[in-house]
Amino acid sequence: MKKRRNSIIFLLVIIIIAGGTALYRSYFNNIDSDHYLSSNVLEKSVEEHQNDKMGKNSRSFDFKKFDGQWSLIQFTSNKSNKINIVDNTKINSGKFYIVVLDSKNNIVAKKNELKDKGNISFTTPKDGKYAIKIAGSGASGNFDISVNASNNIDISHKDFFDE
């Protein structure tokens, strides 16, 4: 009887540890979680980054095996500005998100490139700075967006190696 009770306790401890580990990984380190997408992950890597083209309100490049996050475009906007991000991105492999964050890293809009179709449209909730961030896990493909707004916005681009 004592062996059986000890076996049950041991099994319960293993289940609790495994469940806690799975919950931690899915919440904190999972690219699909809003917590991860809105965090300031400084680690990023890319095996190949080429054909980088920047326009006043656009950005495109080819990439292979992108992991991490990159805030590549920042803009300043007034409240209630209608923003449309024309998205022609094509992902060949891996997971890839485009995320718009406000100055406090709250998600304003996001797109899972493997599941969601179309452009990214939203209205700015307040005056301030916004960032367009990409997040990837083993992602390869072609990134291609342009940003349009109903009122003027001030856009700046960040290089891959900028923090």
In a domain, 11, yes or no: no
Q: Which residues of 12-31 are buried (b: 16+ CB within 10 A; e: fewer)?
A: eeeeeeeeeeeeeeeeeeeb
Q: How many domains does the chain have?
A: 1
In a domain, 103, yes or no: yes
In a domain, 57, yes or no: yes
The single-letter DSSP state of residue 114 is T
115 lies in which domain range?
34-157
For 40-79, write each residue's pLDDT tens digit. 877 889 999 999 999 999 999 999 999 999 999 999 999 9
Q: How far is CA 143 from the centre of its chain?
A: 13
Q: How confident is the model at residue 13 (pLDDT cuts 50, 70, 90)?
A: low
Helix or strand run (H / E) with residue 129? strand 128-149
Q: What pTM value is reported for the model?
A: 0.81
In a domain, 26, yes or no: no
For 111-148, write each residue's pLDDT tens digit. 999 999 999 999 999 999 999 999 999 999 999 999 99
In a domain, 147, yes or no: yes
